Structure 1
Amino acid sequence: MSSASSAPPWNVQRPPRADGSFFLVTGGNAGIGYFVAEQLSATGATVVLGSRNPAKAEDAVASIRARVPGARVRAVQLDLADLTSLRTAAESLGVDHLDAVVHNAGVALDEPPREETADGHELMFGTNHLGHFALTRWLMPLLSAAPAARVVTMGSFAAKSERLDLDDLQSREDYRPKRSYGRSKLAQMHFGFELDRRLRAVDSTVASVVVHPGGALDSLTPSRPPVHERTTGARLGAAPAALLLQGKHAGAWPAVRAVLDPAVLGGQLWGPRVFGLRGEPRCEPVWDHLADASVAARLWDASRALTGVDPSPLPG
């Protein structure tokens, strides 16, 4: 990739080539993750979809290959809700370095009851945050072996109005599904910023960037059968929402830019240009509550205790 000073203006329809690069997208078999993988595949990079469902992963791989001639794309088994499996998942990549990982996979529950992972963690917090926290531990040697790797963490606009309860991270005392989801995404975002602070402290070549997709709806997302099929009725019914929101293909743009654009820096927050809800990606001010390094450090310590691993980087 060219230097930031000589790079042309960013074009979401024509991202720069990344031949020879190797990218992992967690949850790359559906939703925004699928479109991140599809768009990265068009750059000539090798893209691996991390998925807990092999059949859905193969459908996504086939869809990308049908749309991107010559796409170098494959899938690996990855279940973020099973912490004991993550070291094996990282080893199954079968590479000596990793140029970027997009921490995208997630679980969102709308209704009670509260559910738990196999490790006994609240399902959304355990999958969305703790799973990616632990996975980063096992990917860090591969990321550090690349010339300038990136960890891109997919947050959510839902996290903007939430605050962490550090005394009840598992939502045992007061479980509300939508709030717990927002807090799990907020924890992910805190992790992304804290990771970059730790990377900078040891002069690592790895950078950590946080992104969010804005308002991304299935009804505004182009069809990718069998991964996603949008009916005519859904398309017409969503027309008014298109004034403020967008499809998941556009929700992927901030993450794709964070992976590929040499002008993107660690510790930045990227999201859609228009009200943070739709449009081309831009760097935006870090939300005030996300700038609280003391909260992030306490979350890191709690996450380390809950997972039994520490993704802190070695000196670069």
Structure 2
Amino acid sequence: MYNFGVTSTSQGAVIRNQQWDVRRLPRAEGKDFLVTGGNAGIGYFVAEQLAGTGATVILGSRDAAKAEAAMASIRSRVPGARVRHVRLDLADLSSLKSTVDELDRLDAVVCNAGVLLEEPGRRMARDGHELMFATNHLGHFALIGKLMPLLSGGRIVTTGSFTAKSARLDLGDLQSARDYRPKDTYARSKLAQMLCGFELDRRLRAAGSTTASVVNHPGGALDSLTPSRPPFHVRTTGRLLRGLPAGLLLQGKEAGAWPAVRAVLDPSVQGGQLWGPRVLGLRGEPRLETVRNLLADKELAGRVWDASVDLTGLDPLESRA
């Protein structure tokens, strides 16, 4: 399947035969990968890099025009790229079935799409849930459930956030009705998403499934350090110069995509793992991280899972093929 050698240890398969090279990815012809939010930001670069492996990459996006622009950009950089678009609105749970109906099979889904609102007013999604929690977490939670029959033996890759590591969850106020601060609410939504990514893998293993759930985060990924991809992202010289000091610790979104891409392609990656940038978890090539603190809290993850089932009316494992 992949042109990459592995050896096995008591902890499982790990790469020993060669180093992972973000510029020379293993081939993946015949594979189908769905990237939510693949039309912009980190999701775009995940899609562009995966397209370079020969796989078919499906961009899940609400906006068809933005998806077309992203696909045109990918094709201009990856000759013969196999890319297509499906309409996906994670903030509207009732629309997810029509999205899944457009898909036949998948080898991996990258749950990348997310929204970070900056205005102080709390906004609601169509289903009555707080918009960031609905889009970043609940929409992906429900989507995974509907995709599960298409993913037998595949990978579910959840892209969280470095900021989630310092977030705290109030199980009585998961949607920040009493304590709404945009950046904190965003971090909580990503923490919930990551916790459920780990919990999903535990439940898949308990059910004897060969599908794996892997969690990653992009570290600190800034627009000012991101290479241009006209028309949706143009990095000016001035913008680059202003961002250079931050480049000592942070990186652009092209590099921010590397952990997710490795989680999809690396045959040694295992379910339940966390992948992030090598340098302080903020920048650099992807490496395996230790799952610790709240991310390792199995009881909390189980309670967030149960709350998510209640809020979406769907348990992803009930849809397992």
Task: Please give the per-residue CA displacement for 1:200-253, whole angstroms capped at 9, x wherever unaligned.
Answer: 001111000000000000000000001211111001111111110000000000
- 2:195 aligned with 1:190: yes
Equivalent position of 2:256 in the other structure: 251
Determine which of 73, 82, 86 is the counterpart of 2:92.
Answer: 82
What is the aligned residue count? 311
Query: Percent same amino acid among aligned pairs?
Result: 70
2:214 to 192, 209, 214: 209
Unaligned runs of 5+ in 1: none
Give the equivalent residue in structure 1 for 2:120: 112
Q: CA deviation at 1:92?
A: 1.1
Summarize the Cα distance change of 1:217–1:34 in structure 2 as closer, same or farther, 3 Å threshold: same
Per-residue deviation at 1:3?
4.6
- Please state how far the C-alpha of 1:261 moved relative to its aligned partner: 0.2
> 1:66 maps to which residue?
76
Contact 1:202–1:314 (8 Å) recurs in 2: no
Displacement of 1:315: 7.1
Aligned to 2:63: 53
Report how far residue 111 of structure 1 moved. Answer: 2.1
| AA partner of residue 308 (structure 1) | G
TM-score by length of 1: 0.96
CA distance in 2, matches of 1:288, 1:263: 25
- Asked whether the 8 Å contact 1:198–1:313 carries over to 2, the reply is no
- Give the Cα separation in 1 of the matches to 2:298 and 2:309: 16
Alignment of structure 1 residues 298-313 onto 2, 5 Å: 298-312=303-317
User: Is 1:24 paired with 2:34?
Assistant: yes
Once residues 158 and 120 of structure 2 are traced to their aligned partners in structure 1, the CA distance between those partners, rounded to angstroms, is 27
Q: Secondary structure at the match of 2:60?
A: strand
Paired residue for 1:237?
Answer: 242
Q: Any conservation in 2 of the 1:204–1:314 contact (CA below 8 Å)?
A: no
1:261 aligns with 2:247: no
Quick one: distance in 1 between partners of 2:157 and 2:292?
A: 17
Q: Deviations over 1:76-106 (max 9, x none)?
A: 100000000111101112x2x2100000000
Deviation at 1:297, TM superposition (A): 0.7
Secondary structure at 1:225's aligned position in 2?
A: coil
**Aligned partner of residue 38 in structure 2, secondary structure:** coil
Aligned equivalents of 1:310, 1:286: Cα separation in 2: 24
1:101 aligns with 2:106: no
- TM, length-normalised to structure 2: 0.95
| Secondary structure in 2 matching 1:160 | helix
Partner of 1:122: 130
User: Aligned-residue CA RMSD in angstroms?
Assistant: 1.2
**Equivalent residue letter for 2:138:** L
Change (3 A) 1:14 1:313: farther
Report the counterpart of residue 44 of structure 1 in structure 2. Answer: 54
Unaligned runs of 5+ in 2: 8-15
CA contact (8 A) 1:100 1:150 kept: yes
SS in 2 for 1:59: helix
Q: 1:314: how far off? A: 6.5
Q: Secondary structure at the match of 2:317?
A: coil
Contact kept, 8 Å, 1:204 with 1:313, in 2: the verdict is no
How far off is 1:288 after superposition? 1.2
Q: Is the 8 A contact 1:157 1:215 kept in 2?
A: yes
Cα distance in structure 2, aligned partners of 1:264 and 1:48:
22
Shift of 1:4: 2.1
> Given the alignment of the two structures, is residue 165 of structure 1 paired with residue 143 of structure 2, yes or no?
no
The residue that corresponds to 2:139 in the other structure is 131
- Secondary structure (helix, strand or coil) at the match of 1:270 reads strand
Deviations 1:166-209 (A, max 9, x none): 10011111111110000000011001000000010011110000
Is the partner of 2:166 in helix, strand or coil? coil
Deviates further, 227-236 or 215-224: 227-236
